[in-house]
Structure 1
Amino acid sequence: MFKIADYGNDTECANGEELMASLREKYAGKSVSIHYRRKSGITRTEFVDVSTEGHVTDSYNGNDFNLADVLEKAAG
C-alpha cells in the first residue's frame, strides 16, 4: 500500500501500477511525497516531482523515479 501525500489532497494506491497512474493523472505539475511501509514496519518516504507531461523524477537528485527500487524496498 502506498500513499501519495499532497497537503491533504492524498491518494492511497494498492500497487505500483496504480501509484504511477495516480501520480501522472492527479499530480501533474506538482511535487509530492510517497509513503509506504516496509515489512519491518518502518515507514519510508520518497519525494518526487511530476512534470506537467507526467514524467516522475526524484526531487533531490533529478533522476528518473525508480519504481522497481521502491517496490523492492516495500517488499523487503
Structure 2
Amino acid sequence: MEQNQHQERHAADQELQKSLAYLEDILSENSTEVEAKPKLAHGRINEVELIEDLIDIDLAELEDAVADIEEYLDKKNKK
C-alpha cells in the first residue's frame, strides 16, 4: 500500500512538474514578446498595452494548466 502511494505521489509530482514547465514556457514566450515592444518613457503600461497582453493569453492552455494543478492538489489532499 505504501509503495502504491509513493508511485501515485511520484506520478502526480511528474504531472505537476510538467504543467509548471509548460506554464514557464508560456510565460517566457510572453515576456520575450513584451521585451520586443517599445517601453514607454515613464515606465507605465497604458490600457491599450494591458489589453493587448491579456488578449495574447491562450485561455485553453491556462485552463489546462489550472486543471492539472487542481488535480495534483486534490490527489495530495486525499492522502
Give the alignment's TM-score, normalised by structure 1. 0.27
RCO (CA 8 Å, sep 6+): is it higher in 1 or 2? 2
Higher strand proportion (structure 1 or 2):
1
* TM-score (normalised: structure 2): 0.26
Larger-Rg structure: 2
